[in-house]
Structure 1
Amino acid sequence: MKYKRFILFFLFCLTLSYACPAAGEPEKGVPKVKASAVCLMDVTTGQIYFEKEGNKRREPASLTKIMTAILAIENGNLKDIVTVGKRAASVSMGQDIGLRTGDRLYLEDLLKAALLYSANDSTVAIGEHIGGSHEVFIKMMNDKAKALGMKNTSFANTNGYHHPNHYTTANDLAILTCYALKNPTFAELVRTKEVTITWLPPEDNGTTDEKPEEKVVREKILHSTNRLLESDFEGINGVKTGTTPRAGNCLIASATREGRQLVAVILNSQNRWDDATGLLDYGFNDIKPVALVEKSEYVDKVPVEEGVEKEVRLVAANKVEVYLPPGELELVQKKIHKTVAPKAPITKGTKLGTVTYLLKDKEIASVDLVANQDIERLPWYRRIFE
């Protein structure tokens, strides 16, 4: 009898262990990440699908170079010839391409060195060329961050060296990267696996008889530090790695599937590659489209002045569909803005308002509200009496 009771008790405990998740385990479907901070964002809509410590300030390491690069692309010409100054030539910390004072390279090659190879010296040369000085360029970086709505970001250098006033967040980096990826030049650079950059001949001041084609030109082959570009992960197309002792192993990865592009920001991770691919897979596989309203679905009504009908029903002009994480549909709120008592006659389909849908106080969709029928104006004698 004792043994029977023991066996029954054991089976009961075993059943509980399978039925109930262990304390601290994530909910089903929620990605498991080892990173200190992460953010998964939709490039087109800017909607955040998942975050962990998304607004906590952290060091970005070489992810800083995304801001350096997009400013250079927007404010320079890829065929600009950059002459390297002493400041860039003196950079020795971290990865570099061995720039020396007086070296001449195309801006495009310096950008490739910064984004693919994460060369620290190239970003200083880029900043001084675009801004005229390092200090001016840093101001440009911070001004751009504010313009993009990066509320918890401050830049103190072009490459991500440790500095007390150099910090950002996973959410801010996602905002920056989504913005940068909409630039075709940037998008092309960050999905490139290998490039060859070239040092141009010294500027000819007319004192030499040597022909330009006879001058020695130095070349260097660079490979992307983003290992995911060499993987078989579906749709991967960028973006950038970053590593320092203080920041840890960081990565921003992007992928596109069936027309949707997502960005995963990984900060201080024990395995940034698995964290990134896990987040991206979650975004593509678990975030499903949800209909907020169907076309011609009733939303509200509004009174009508001088109409044969006293009110008109407002319906959605189109179907509204958005991608939402599991369980967030009930968190969506809507705000209705409608015309105050329109005057008849009213034609079916006339816009009489809008409805905006918000998730966590951020707009995720909107649609016009239109009249669902024609409403004629009252005859003059009825208008007099009524």
Structure 2
Amino acid sequence: MQKFTKERVVIYLALLLLLVLPNMGHASAPKISAGADVLMDVETGRIYYSKNADKRIEPASLTKLMTAVVAVENGCLDDVVTITGRSASISEGSIIDLRKDEKILLGELLKAALITSANDATVAIAEHVAGSHEGFIRMMNGKAAALGLFGTRYVNTNGYHHINHYTTATDLAVLTRYALGKAEINDLVQTQKATVYWVEPPARKMEIINSNRLLSMDYPGIDGVKTGTTPIAGNCLIASATRQGQRLIAVALNCYDRYKDCALLLDYGFETIKPVVVADAGTRVARVAVTGGLKAEVDAVVENTLVVKMDPDLLPQLEQRLELEKSVQAPLKQGHKLGVAIFILDGQEIGRAGLVAGSDVPRTGWHRQLWDAIRY
């Protein structure tokens, strides 16, 4: 068989599916107070809903998720940390009242930072892991770049207001998804109550309570993650929940009621997002030119049925992009790969279906057909 032409053509089609349905838009989407929000699937990274998701906004104490990631990846949680004057001097917001020359395990500082959002703990973490607070900030920004968080920049470890300290709802969702993959972080962000212990003085300990009230509100499946609040950033929350094996992340920034907003986002994901067939196996999608065959064209059909999770009301907004061979050379066997159909919703790829030849196409001429029958 001769090699097919390798030149490919990319065809953009605005495909309206299920034309009998009205264009519902986001009619079933949650009505929430957040200035920016995102709902993401942890397993796939799919974004099911968003509003002002790429708008620059201050993260407040949600910053501590990146502090935790850098600490876990670059420090040893069993290390003994000696408290410096700088970390002991932090007094604004939530703290565990660290005192100069005290000794405490790095893991205990991480516990305090993630559960009770202790601002002094993050400075102590930074100085121990990187040798300096400034060096740790560079590590945070380097990790942000590595994760593709290009709308994010850090100036401190705890989320205090600064004009050059910012992020986006999308970046926070991506960061949270990554952070939840760290067992140490995943366990702490769903812990309601804990005790922080010191090495020196050995008798010192402190009971702490998670600042995320959704953990104590009996929301079905709740399992994380972090609150954040400053006068500029407003009330912020990242929440996660798992039901029937599916884990979702809700990011709600600058809210009137952050707990209600995240609950509504999560409810939308669990109750509205359903498996939807967007391409049936065998369905003809396009035709591809055939050179030297008994037929001038061959049907390009869907190889395997494609099912994706989405809001069924948004089917009329689904777009299809085809990447196909411009032409193929006979002889052609049924099932020969011709390209791919890519399905896009709100600018986000949600699935791909392989496209194959729907039938055989023999070459012209009986002697060529006989040779092909012997050969193949």
TM-score in same-fold range (> 0.5):
yes
User: Structure 1 pair 104/29, CA: closer, same or farther in 2 (3 Å)?
Assistant: same
- What TM-score results when the alignment is normalised by the length of structure 1? 0.81
Cα contact 1:191–1:238 (8 A) shared by 2:
yes
Q: How does 1:39-188 map to 2 (within 5 A)?
A: 39-188=38-187
User: Structure 1 pair 185/348, CA: closer, same or farther in 2 (3 Å)?
Assistant: farther
The 2-side partners of 1:367 and 1:332 are apart by: 14
- What TM-score results when the alignment is normalised by the length of structure 2? 0.83
Give the residue type in structure 1 aligned to 2:257: N
1:269 matches 2:269? no
Give the residue type in structure 1 aligned to 2:255: S
Structure 2: any 5+ residue segments left out of the alignment?
Answer: 1-24, 370-376
User: Structure 1 pair 220/345, CA: closer, same or farther in 2 (3 Å)?
Assistant: farther
Task: Tell me the residue number matched to 1:255.
Answer: 241
The 1-side partners of 2:76 and 2:303 are apart by: 44
> Could you tell me the percent identity over the aligned residues?
50
Deviations for 1:327-374, whole angstroms, at most 9, x for unmatched residues? 422222222112343444544433331121122322221122223344
Give the residue type in structure 2 aligned to 1:53: N
The 2-side partners of 1:348 and 1:382 are apart by: 18
How many residues align structurally? Answer: 345
Give the residue type in structure 1 aligned to 2:278: L
Task: Tell me the residue number matched to 1:321.
Answer: 307
SS of 1:253's equivalent in the other structure is strand
Cα contact 2:279–2:353 (8 A) shared by 1:
no
Structure 1: any 5+ residue segments left out of the alignment?
Answer: 1-25, 202-214
Higher relative contact order (CA 8 A, sep 6+): 2
Task: Tell me the residue number matched to 1:286.
Answer: 272
Task: Tell me the residue number matched to 1:330.
Answer: 316
Give the residue type in structure 2 aligned to 1:65: K
Task: Tell me the residue number matched to 1:210.
Answer: none
1:359 matches 2:358? no
Deviations for 1:132-153, whole angstroms, at most 9, x for unmatched residues? 3211221222222233333332
Of 231, 234, 237, the residue aligned with 1:245 is 231
Cα contact 1:193–1:229 (8 A) shared by 2:
yes
Q: How does 1:14-53 map to 2 (within 5 A)?
A: 29-53=28-52
The 2-side partners of 1:253 and 1:48 are apart by: 15
Task: Tell me the residue number matched to 1:200.
Answer: 199
The 1-side partners of 2:301 and 2:185 are apart by: 42
Shift of 1:65: 0.5
Shift of 1:173: 1.5
Shift of 1:96: 1.0
SS of 1:290's equivalent in the other structure is strand
Shift of 1:78: 2.8
The 2-side partners of 1:292 and 1:193 are apart by: 41
User: Structure 1 pair 345/258, CA: closer, same or farther in 2 (3 Å)?
Assistant: farther
User: Which stretch shifts more, 303-312 or 46-55?
Assistant: 303-312
Shift of 1:116: 0.6
Cα contact 1:45–1:364 (8 A) shared by 2:
no
The 2-side partners of 1:136 and 1:379 are apart by: 74
SS of 2:63's equivalent in the other structure is helix
SS of 1:118's equivalent in the other structure is coil
SS of 2:327's equivalent in the other structure is coil
The 2-side partners of 1:333 and 1:144 are apart by: 34
User: Which stretch shifts more, 172-181 or 321-330?
Assistant: 321-330
The 2-side partners of 1:129 and 1:373 are apart by: 66
Please say which structure displays the higher CA radius of gyration: 1
Give the residue type in structure 1 aligned to 2:120: D
Shift of 1:95: 0.9
